[in-house]
Amino acid sequence: MDRELPDVDRTRVADLVNAHPASRGLHDLRTRSTGVGQHIEFHLELDSHLSLAEAHDITDEIESSVRAAFPNADVTIHQEPAGLDDERLDHRLRPRRH
């Protein structure tokens, strides 16, 4: 049965993302263990002034470090300018208090 990866793995993903100097954070981290492999998906926050090429390179580097730690995982990264107030799954599951 599919289920979320344990908290220790979720924390490891977040630590890897945050370890990159260009990372401005992540949200909507979703993980799934299928028995044969894993799926890891999140929104990566980056400075909005980066060129597309820069953002792509940074994302590749972060993707590589996550893949190195989770060799059986499919990794999907959505890039997003830091500070964007998008509609987040995190908020839908746990609404913000204003």
**Shortest Å distance, C-beta 42 to Zn ion:** 9
Tell me the C-alpha to C-alpha distance, in Å, between residue 90 and each of 26, 30, 34, 82, 87.
11, 10, 22, 16, 9
The CA distance from 57 to 50, in Å, is: 11
Query: Least distance in Å: CB of 83 to Zn ion?
Result: 11
Tell which one of 5, 31, 42, 43 touches Zn ion (CB under 5 A). Answer: 43
**CB 48 to Zn ion: min, Å:** 13
Residue 50 has a CB neighbour count (10 Å cut-off) of 15
Q: Which residue in the shown chain puts its C-beta closest to Zn ion?
A: 43
Where along the sequence are the contacts to Zn ion (CB under 5 A)? 43, 80, 86
